Structures are given as C-alpha cells and as structure tokens.
Chain A
Amino acid sequence: SQQGEEDPQALSIQEGENATMNCSYKTSINNLQWYRQNSGRGLVHLILIRSNEREKHSGRLRVTLDTSKKSSSLLITASRAADTASYFCATPRGDNYQLIWGAGTKLIIKP
C-alpha cells in the first residue's frame, strides 16, 4: 500500500540546475526516508529525517519535513547526469518497520 503521493511524477531539468521533489503522507510518522532507484536496479538509501527534525543535509541533498502539513521535500542542488533516477519517499509502520512507499518521482537530468 502507498502512504501518500509524490510530485511531480516526472521532472526533467538541465544539468547544473536544482531539482525539488515533494512527498506527502497520511498518518503520523516516526521518520521519513528518501531512496533513489536507478532504472532496473535496487534502491539506495539517501537520507532519513526524524519527526523532530525540520531539515537535514547530506552532500548535495537537502531534505525538509513539515509534520503539520504531513509533507517532505528533497532538494538536489547542482544536479548531474548521474542523478537521473527515480526517487521515492517512504515511512515506516509497525514494529517491524515495514516501509510504506510514495509513488515516486522520475528525475531526468539533461546534459
């Protein structure tokens, strides 16, 4: 089952520009995670932000979390062709931390 929605569904920008993706969720969360998936491959964990955090950075990635709006955003600065991938947000549920996934944003970086 999917927790919420991500927008945009697809995003195409020029190399060097910044890319922003948004994720909304429905229930209260402990944390929210962002993952990247290259075409036909497994997922790579990018960053985790906890419910008591508002912003987190990792290299060129910046994640924000607004629990009042139940939304998060992922910003990739100075995009590169290698950033071309699908990006998913996910939130854990239950004691086993099953992840509930957003629909994903397909990002294309044009050289």
Chain B
Amino acid sequence: QKEVEQNSGPLSVPEGAIASLNCTYSDRGSQSFFWYRQYSGKSPELIMSIYSNGDKEDGRFTAQLNKASQYVSLLIRDSQPSDSATYLCADLSGGSYIPTFGRGTSLIVHP
C-alpha cells in the first residue's frame, strides 16, 4: 500500500519569509504529485501539480520533485498570513488513479 509522509507541524514562519513544506512517498514508480491547501473546516483546494523531476513555479509557489530521493516539496515565497492553512501532499501512481494523501502540514504565518 502506498504511503505519503508529511510532518504534521505546525510550521511557523514570519510574514514575508519562505515557507518550505516537504513530503516523502513510498512508491518508487509514482509519477504524479499534487499539493492541496485546506483551510480549517473547508475542503482541499488544488494549488500545484508536478510530474517531472525538477522545479515548477506558479506565482509565489514552487513545487520540487526528486524521484531518486522520493520526495516532493512546496516552497511559498513572500508568505502571507492568508497562507496559514494545512497543506496536503498527494501521490497518484500507476493506472489505478487512486490518490494517496499525506496527513498534511499545518502552516502558520505570523505578522
């Protein structure tokens, strides 16, 4: 059974800093990874996807994938208090299209 591991946090960063969120995955054959943001009491919102080794940038967000080390990361530049949320890492692998989610990392951005 696939596993996705995330540190539950909380990760606390000051406003304007770079927040770095990490996740590791167990299935060496995994190809597709997603980052979701979830505010308390709300449903997950897709913010980034990454499929190839390297970096993918979208605005203040950068996703990084290292298949050799089996980790995925999300960098948030110029963190804002509105970024305070739980960030979920998801792994989609093989042909079954069943994502496995980590338990999420709580991010707190303080003014």
Is B a genuine binding partner of A? no
Q: Which residues of A contact B (CB under 8 A)?
A: none
- Tell me the B residues contacting A by CB distance below 8 Å: none
